[in-house]
Amino acid sequence: MQAPDILSALKPVIQSFEKLDIPYYIGGSVASSVYGMARATLDVDIIADIKTSQITGLKKNLEGDFYIDADMIADAIGRTSSFNLIHLDTMLKIDVFVHVNHTKKYFIKSIPCTRLLRNKYRQAPMIANPKA
């Protein structure tokens, strides 16, 4: 997967999370690559504190560009598990892990990353801190 594909898929998700005030951070291979530990990736991992009341807005914001299933999101929130978003142009899968037990600790320790997406958002995307 090429960086432009990842960024084009990630941009609308981050913008939607910010618009809906959904706390999040990016983890997995994308986060490790930002810190110089490149790993092959076929997807993006996001940890998010999404609430049931935000599902409709998220679906409305993303449904034209993504496969998004409101029932799957509601189920993931209820089970504190994960759901997938599929970016239709690139077929990139974004795994969204719903607020796990340790998430608040990592939200506090996550850091803005201007190296990932320079000046394309209201603020830099939050990236997992490798020191957390």
Residues 47-77: tens digit of each pLDDT: 888 999 999 999 999 999 999 999 999 999 9
- Full-model pTM: 0.75
How many percent of the chain have pLDDT more than 70? 61
Q: State how far the Cα of 21 lies from the Cα of 61, in Å rounded to an integer.
A: 13
Token couple for 96? 């969204």
Domains along the sequence of the chain with CATH? 3-127 (3.30.460)
Q: What is the pLDDT of residues 90-116, one digit of tens each?
A: 999 999 999 755 445 544 444 444 444
